[in-house]
Amino acid sequence: MLAEIGHFALILTLLVAIAQSVLPMLGAIRGDAALMAFGRSAASLQALLIAISFGSLMTLFGQADFSVKLVANHSALSQPLPYRLAATWGNHEGSMLLWVLVLSVYGAGIAKFGDNLRATLQARILSIQAMISVAFLAFALFTSNPFERLFPVPLDGAELNPLLQDPGLVFHPPLLYLGYVGFSVTFSFAVAALLEGRADPAWARWMRPWVLAAWIPLTIGITLGSFWAYYELGWGGWWFWDPVENASFMPWLIGTALLHSAIVTEKRGSLAGWTILLAIMAFSLSLIGTFLVRSGILTSVHAFAVDPERGVFILAMIIGATGTALAMFAARAPMLKSGALFGSVSRESGLTMNNLLLMALTAVVFLGTFYPVIMEAVSPANKISVGPPYYNLVFVPLATPLLLLVTIGPMLAWKRDDLATLGRKLLVPTAIVAALLAALVLAFGWQQVVAALGLALGAWLVLGAVLVLVRRWWGAGGFSLRLVRTTPAATIGLVLAHAGLGFTTAGIASMTSFAAEKILVMRPGETAVAGPVSVKMLGAEEVDGANYRALRARFTVAQNGREGLLISERRLYTVSGNQTTEAGIGVSLLGNQYVAIGDVQQDARGQGLVVRIYWHPLVGWIWFGGLLMAMGGCASLADRRFRIGAPQLRSPLAPTLVPAE
């Protein structure tokens, strides 16, 4: 019964979305307030209906109702309840439903919190949101119905991949979706601005919180995903340049560019066309991220053909949304008023450089991800692979100037600045970082000069962020509490995010150069050393978990005279036969000790257990930096400027100015 309720609610959602995609738009064109108001009610109704549908599916998973095919295929009775519930979105159909749920909730958000928006703009945005909804709801209903029944009903289901049975993975996909789908809102803002032929500072100010609302969960999601890979995959890698990771990284890079270019549009009215273009690209890349990756096209062109119905639908959606928006951009961009001019040395030009470099970095990831597929399609005889060595070689030289610029940018004045003033401001941080660099080179030697440069770059970023506060708090008359009190939340956001980037940079530099490892066969009582870490194996035994059996090894770990106990497991999930590794990780501020166990093997001294011991210096800084960036986003979002409404010209509604679609 519940499955039918969920299915029915899903169909109703589609009907509401169809009405919402047409009527408010019509209202905006005709200046009909009632039709525009309908858009707001419809958006809330849509969210309510899809919530009922999603809630039904989640309850079915909770009840372990194996008469529903999806539940039977993706959960088992032996699975703990939280993971059964999380299995709702641990599969294609369920995650599609989550996608439309998030989409509708954002739509309802625009209806609820968009009181200060121009009524016509809000109506158009809601209509465009609904058009996206229609496409995805139709996709869910016609190609991936989550409520399909199964007969005969099995006694138990097939298990969710145990790798995914982990708290990190419970929250990872919803966070990424919040990010991906959040960019649908900025996409709608961009298209609505093109329809109205107007992208002014007020528009940018309205849009900025929504950019942040997408960027923050995406940042946390990527950070969490990286952390999950680190402790679950068994050898402490934290980023793999895997297509799935790249898929979330591309919208993040473009989203970051959008975040910055929207500032220019908000403060100075410039770069409006550029901001619109970035908003379109961020959503396109999000679509690519969610769906092309799922379609299997990245594994091989041929995998795409296994499920052509879904694949073609997805491709049509991506091309339809992106193509239409870009065509409109080409037609309307020249109509957009260009804002204030700016000099070649100015905050605006700094942010333009930021945008260009972020675009180039996105191009690195995009080409690296899709080039092998394109090559396979164009010349199958000459297949290539693109992996970490390519990214390291091309990404780093483009990322370095961007990171250098992060500290310089906030020092620049809006509109026009000159190099002499900038030079004076840069004197102190440059001197400090140069001294640090010299000290690092002295400490580690010339062989580790790359690591020293990376760490110094991290310090440069953190210092640059701190200096923003210092300059803000020390006015012409010295330090002033009034200046501290009146610091806008957005400034705090900038400081946190830029400092976070510094911590991440330092962590990456340290991990790249100073990580140590030792792989060997150990027997109880034996000791091994990796870098500064000394590990002694105590013993190994079998243990039983809720739905798995495990081999558990215990170790004592000594470093700098301090000892600790680490436990490492290899689990066998009894239903599916899948295996996972649970590494033992000793966490500290300066780095992690990491011990993972493997097979039984013979070496010169007899039979023992393969043990991998790692020392990961500053690895935690990578994720700490990511979280700090997200916190910076939150601080920015809290800025009261976003709540008191945007300054706008009092102009009468002028529907006649708006050409028909």
Q: Return the residues of window 126-165 that contact other proteins according to CB under 8 A.
A: none
Binding residue for other proteins, selected from 113, 171, 239, 390, defined by CB under 8 A: 390
Cβ 611 to other proteins shortest distance, Å: 9
Q: Is 661 in the site for other proteins (CB under 8 A)?
A: no
Strand-pair partners of 367: none
Binding residue for other proteins, selected from 92, 149, 416, 536, defined by CB under 8 A: 416
Binding residue for other proteins, selected from 167, 387, 645, 659, defined by CB under 8 A: 387
- Distances, alpha carbon 177 to alpha carbons 97, 206, 235, in Å: 11, 22, 27
Nearest CB to other proteins, comparing residues 209 and 368 = 368
Stretch that binds other proteins, among 144-152, 230-238, 283-291, 638-646 (CB under 8 A): 230-238
Q: How far apart are CA 597 and CA 614, in angstroms?
A: 12
List all residues 6 or more positions away from 205 whose beta carbon is below 8 Å from its beta carbon.
Answer: 266, 641, 642, 646
E strand map for 449-590: 474-475, 478-479, 516-522, 527-530, 533-544, 548-559, 562-573, 579-582, 584-588
Nearest CB to other proteins, comparing residues 382 and 651 = 382
Nearest CB to other proteins, comparing residues 32 and 242 = 242
Q: Is 476 in the site for other proteins (CB under 8 A)?
A: yes
Q: Is 405 in the site for other proteins (CB under 8 A)?
A: no
Nearest CB to other proteins, comparing residues 579 and 588 = 579
Nearest CB to other proteins, comparing residues 188 and 346 = 346
Cβ 123 to other proteins shortest distance, Å: 32
Nearest CB to other proteins, comparing residues 114 and 608 = 608
| CA angle (618, 619, 623) in 5-degree steps | 115
Burial 249-279 (b: 16+ CB within 10 A, else e): bbbbbbbbbbbbbbbbbbbbbbbbbbbbbbb
Cβ 517 to other proteins shortest distance, Å: 9
Binding residue for other proteins, selected from 171, 235, 239, 444, defined by CB under 8 A: 235
Tally of CA atoms within 13 A in the half-sphere of 520 that contains its CB: 18
Cβ 446 to other proteins shortest distance, Å: 19
- Cβ–Cβ < 8 Å for 177, 118: no
- Tokens for 113, please give them: 């919190």
List all residues 6 or more positions away from 349 whose beta carbon is below 8 Å from its beta carbon.
Answer: 342, 343, 412
Cβ 345 to other proteins shortest distance, Å: 9
Burial 142-172 (b: 16+ CB within 10 A, else e): ebbbbbeebeeeeeebebbbbebbbebbbbb
Q: Is 660 in the site for other proteins (CB under 8 A)?
A: no
Task: Assign 3-state DSSP to the chain and report helix, strand, coil percentages, each to 5.
Answer: 65, 15, 20
Nearest CB to other proteins, comparing residues 158 and 398 = 398
Cβ 340 to other proteins shortest distance, Å: 9
For residues 592-631, which are near other proteins according to CB under 8 A?
Answer: 596-603, 610, 612
**CB-based burial of residue 385 (10 Å sphere; 0-12 exposed, 13-18 middle, 19+ buried)?**
exposed
- Cβ–Cβ < 8 Å for 206, 113: no
Stretch that binds other proteins, among 199-207, 317-325, 590-598, 635-643 (CB under 8 A): 590-598
Cβ atoms < 10 Å from Cβ of 438: 12
Strand-pair partners of 601: 608
| CA angle (240, 242, 245) in 5-degree steps | 95
Q: Is 384 in the site for other proteins (CB under 8 A)?
A: yes
Q: Is 15 in the site for other proteins (CB under 8 A)?
A: no
DSSP state of 292: I
- Distances, alpha carbon 552 to alpha carbons 76, 80, 280, 534, 576, in Å: 24, 21, 50, 19, 20
Binding residue for other proteins, selected from 19, 375, 441, 558, defined by CB under 8 A: 375
For residues 237-256, which are near other proteins according to CB under 8 A?
Answer: 237, 240-243
Nearest CB to other proteins, comparing residues 125 and 537 = 537
Q: Among 523, 591, 595, which Cα is nearest to 557's?
A: 595
Binding residue for other proteins, selected from 386, 408, 516, 567, defined by CB under 8 A: 386
Nearest CB to other proteins, comparing residues 128 and 264 = 264
Q: Is 415 in the site for other proteins (CB under 8 A)?
A: yes
Cβ 402 to other proteins shortest distance, Å: 10
Q: How far apart are CA 110 and CA 127, in angstroms?
A: 11
Q: Among 652, 654, 622, 648, which Cα is nearest to 223's?
A: 622
Stretch that binds other proteins, among 247-255, 279-287, 413-421, 445-453 (CB under 8 A): 413-421
For residues 440-469, which are near other proteins according to CB under 8 A?
Answer: none
For residues 559-588, which are near other proteins according to CB under 8 A?
Answer: 570, 572, 579-581
Q: How far apart are CA 566 and CA 353, in angstroms?
A: 47
- List the end-to-end C-alpha distance of the chain, in Å, as a whole number: 43
Stretch that binds other proteins, among 65-73, 353-361, 496-504, 637-645 (CB under 8 A): 353-361
Q: Is 380 in the site for other proteins (CB under 8 A)?
A: no
Q: How far apart are CA 376 and CA 1, in angstroms?
A: 47
- Cβ–Cβ < 8 Å for 543, 488: no
Site string for other proteins, 299-318 (x = CB under 8 A): x-------------------
Cβ 481 to other proteins shortest distance, Å: 14
Nearest CB to other proteins, comparing residues 324 and 607 = 607
Binding residue for other proteins, selected from 70, 361, 499, 629, defined by CB under 8 A: 361
Q: Is 546 in the site for other proteins (CB under 8 A)?
A: no
Nearest CB to other proteins, comparing residues 393 and 590 = 393
DSSP state of 515: -
Q: Is 359 in the site for other proteins (CB under 8 A)?
A: yes
Binding residue for other proteins, selected from 168, 488, 524, 564, defined by CB under 8 A: 488
Cβ 485 to other proteins shortest distance, Å: 13
Cβ atoms < 10 Å from Cβ of 381: 6
For residues 161-220, which are near other proteins according to CB under 8 A?
Answer: none
Site string for other proteins, 25-54 (x = CB under 8 A): ------------------------------
Residues in the chain: 661
Alpha-carbon dihedral sign for residues 304, 306, 308, 311: negative
Cβ 362 to other proteins shortest distance, Å: 8
Stretch that binds other proteins, among 31-39, 57-65, 455-463, 535-543 (CB under 8 A): 535-543
Binding residue for other proteins, selected from 41, 63, 324, 421, defined by CB under 8 A: 421
Cβ 106 to other proteins shortest distance, Å: 30
